[in-house]
Chains A and B, each alone.
Chain A
């Protein structure tokens, strides 16, 4: 696209800036639409599992429910508690929302279709997701209220704990792919046993795929790990004092993060935009459709878990993160690097 604007007579830098801004809009606006629709899908899936109908009034099959909710929230009054720290109280939801959008810059949607094809893509995602904790911590502190503060402390402890094991899980994938570039990681998953695409079919990486799925649920504070907003203990967690658009930004950011984690599952372990089977006719289907199908599948798994699994106790959550996931992922880093050392890199010398 940069070349297109250059042909129109713009200098290179102007053309680059313009095309990048257009690229950002092309990703961010459909993402917002996707968030609205995925909230609808989420509610429909829970409803089906609880033998209810779910949203079915606004629009055909209730499809416009999320937009009605959005309009309602938009028209509400923004209430700022008088004892709150005003600036930080308002900045916190903005941080959550912005950070949730930023990570999408390095996600490849198709061969070569990626906003920023940087060679430290995976590290970028780790860096950005480690920023996400600030939105939660700041909202909890700035609210100047008891329950949001408890929730913020819980949330940050939880996010930091699971980031550690996620880091090790990512390292196994990076070792296998030999690159931090996400497009290269996707391409490296071609042709397992000659016909399958996806690291998940690799017996050494399959356990990592499962652990990543669970860690992703903990990282995004989805049920069964939604201790940050455990209603019976903490009212509504760090969002308790928020209303109107500030509240909606948390909501949108949370779901954008959930979709991102589903996308990462698809990209790192199940071949991203590649078809699951390495068979020529399947490549005629555009890669973006494969990616979206995989994202939606993982989103369904997330909803399914949320609808059926009871909430963890806090000590169980910490035990799972530190005493089970951390040692196991460390062991797999060891196994994968050892395996690669003896096969790909020519044995111990």
Chain B
């Protein structure tokens, strides 16, 4: 009963906030609706019993990715009229993409529920004693270890690429010498002088 209620609550909020992400006029509001959608999707994951995935969804998407989105969008100088102008022009293209995605999802689910490859695995009983994290870890570090490491390398390359693309060596910048700053003591920096009247201080 509570499960069903919770499911419909989360699902309704995901759908509504997904729609509002596209429809709201202010980009900052769009990002906030997107965050709400992520958060409720995490709620749906919890209902499925995939609490580890749910927590990762919140940590990675809500805690890191969406913060960066919000950052970028907040800094923008927003011209609402210009933003609204292209809506009708892009509508057919957007609908096309939506249709392709829908077809892919339907195909994917259809193949998954009828496919012969996964059938054997789904028939194999999952150990109920095993927690989510242990189950995922046991698969990730044995059967999918190469894929996992390949994903890591792709991310590393992407990170290095981003740094290389945005880094520019500027000349004439005075860097800080932290060790020198930390070594400095009051005795080196301050000097008490008892100066006679009418004479300047020798530095």
Contacts and interface: CB of A to CB of B under 8 A. Distances in A.
Given A13-B2, A127-B55, A160 B28 contact: no
Given A119-B131, A141-B28, A131 B62 contact: yes
A126 B132 contact: no
| Main DSSP-derived SS at the B contact region | helix
A226 interface: no
A126 B52 CA distance: 12
Contact of B62 (A123, A130, A153, A315): A130
Nearest to B176: A315
A130 B64 contact: yes
Interface in A101-149: 118-120, 123-124, 126-127, 130-131, 133-134, 137-138, 141, 149
Interface in B1-21: 1-2
Given A130-B59, A134-B35, A160-B64, A120 B133 contact: yes
B52 A120 contact: yes
A72 interface: no
A137 B70 contact: yes
Interface in B125-179: 131-133, 176, 178
B17 to A, nearest CB: 14
A319 interface: yes
Contacts of A160: 64, 67
Contact of A118 (B28, B51, B56, B64): B51
A89 to B, nearest CB: 12
B63 interface: yes
Contacts of A133: 63, 67
Contacts of A315: 176
Contacts of A241: none
Nearest to B35: A134
Contacts of A119: 51, 131-133
A156 interface: yes
| Main DSSP-derived SS at the A contact region | helix
Nearest to A126: B59
A123 B59 contact: yes
Contact of A180 (B58, B64, B133): B133
B58 A131 contact: yes
Nearest to A152: B74
A138 B55 CA distance: 23
Interface in B32-70: 32, 35, 51-52, 55-56, 58-59, 62-64, 67, 70
Contacts of B178: 319
Contacts of A219: none
Contacts of A137: 67, 70-71, 74
B63 A163 contact: yes
Given A17-B2, A130-B64, A124 B55 contact: yes
Contacts of A134: 35, 67, 70
Contact of A13 (B1, B52, B55, B62): B1
Nearest to B181: A316
Contacts of B56: 123
Contacts of B70: 134, 137
Given A120-B133, A137-B74, A141-B74, 17 more contacts: A16-B2, A88-B28, A118-B51, A119-B51, A119-B132, A120-B52, A123-B56, A127-B58, A130-B62, A131-B58, A131-B62, A133-B67, A153-B71, A156-B71, A160-B64, A160-B67, A180-B133
Interface of A: 13, 16-17, 88, 118-120, 123-124, 126-127, 130-131, 133-134, 137-138, 141, 149, 153, 156, 160, 163, 180, 315, 319
25 contacts: A13-B2, A16-B2, A88-B28, A119-B132, A119-B133, A120-B52, A123-B56, A123-B59, A126-B55, A127-B63, A130-B58, A130-B59, A130-B63, A130-B64, A131-B58, A131-B62, A134-B35, A137-B67, A137-B70, A137-B74, A138-B32, A141-B28, A149-B74, A160-B67, A319-B178
